[in-house]
Amino acid sequence: MVRVYLHEVTKIFGKNVVALDKVELEVRSGEFMVVMGPSGHGKTTLLRVVAGLEEPTDGEVWIGDTLVASPRKGVFIPPKDRNVGMVFQNWALYPHMRVFDNIAFPLRIKKLPKAEIEKRVREIAEVLGIAETLDRYPRQLSGGQQQRVAIARALVKEPQVLLMDEPFSNLDARIRVTARAFVKDIQRKLSITTILVTHDPADSLTLADRIAVLRRGVIQQIGLPNEIYDKPANIFVANFIGDINLFEGSIVSKGNEVYFDGGDVKVQLPPGVNVQGTENVILA
């Protein structure tokens, strides 16, 4: 098990498209970290920087004790030497290959012995419950089975880190619930350091040991799921993690009572609430 550490990582595309802005993020060894945020706000870029599919413009990326990317120090270790597994949003299975060959592909790239490839593929297929599909083609599988094949292909090379890019977005709503439980169970069994990116709060609250909320390439908050939900750092986090109503108003004190005054909406506040600053407050 290894940790993943991004130190002030910036990624700029072209002249002024800032995808990541001084991202500081530590994923602990064996942790399931979910990075959530709207589409187009840098989540996938973050994964690709960790995987080595993108080179950061600035900052450092560490996997375990190895510095794998640092423009200032002239360091960039290519993806094939980082020992990470990645599950893409569309699963990216080869349609002309059987399930066995899809899973075995990264091992053949490494030129492992045939007997070792056979052993590893059948072992991981057994763990993921797809052993009976090894002779089929992707078109002959359900969406859930295709997802498991993609996960098997990522895990078969025994990576130090598993990266998952919106892995449930192509699944029907009912299957997503089962798929989330399956992925969490596998991650716990293997104790593999995992980063999953999503725009779906249900993924985050169901799977994460901790959540990092990303907006316009900037980390807004990092914390346990209940911390993110109950004590959001700002209005963006509060509004993104769940469906809420927002009311603008002010704090009014009368005797021992303190309440929020939003015109049509008045709410008495419980004792102990910090009411410093009584203008332009928002009740959520």
Sheet holding 193-198, edge to edge: 84-87, 161-165, 193-198, 32-36, 210-215, 218-223
Residue 61's pLDDT is: 97
Which pTM does this prediction carry?
0.85
Between CA 272 and CA 234 the distance in angstroms is: 20
Give all domains of the chain, ordered by start, each with its CATH number. 4-241 (3.40.50.300), 247-283 (no CATH)
Residue 254's pLDDT is: 77
What string of pLDDT tens digits covers the 284 residues of the chain?
799 999 999 999 988 899 999 999 999 999 999 999 998 899 999 999 999 999 999 999 999 999 999 999 999 999 989 989 888 877 789 999 999 999 999 999 888 999 999 999 998 888 888 899 999 999 999 888 898 898 889 888 888 999 999 888 777 777 788 888 888 888 888 889 999 999 988 889 999 999 999 999 999 999 999 999 989 999 999 989 888 888 888 888 777 778 888 888 888 888 777 666 667 788 88
Q: What is the CA radius of gyration of the chain?
A: 22
CB 143 within 8 A of CB 175: yes
Which H helix or E strand runs over 156?
none
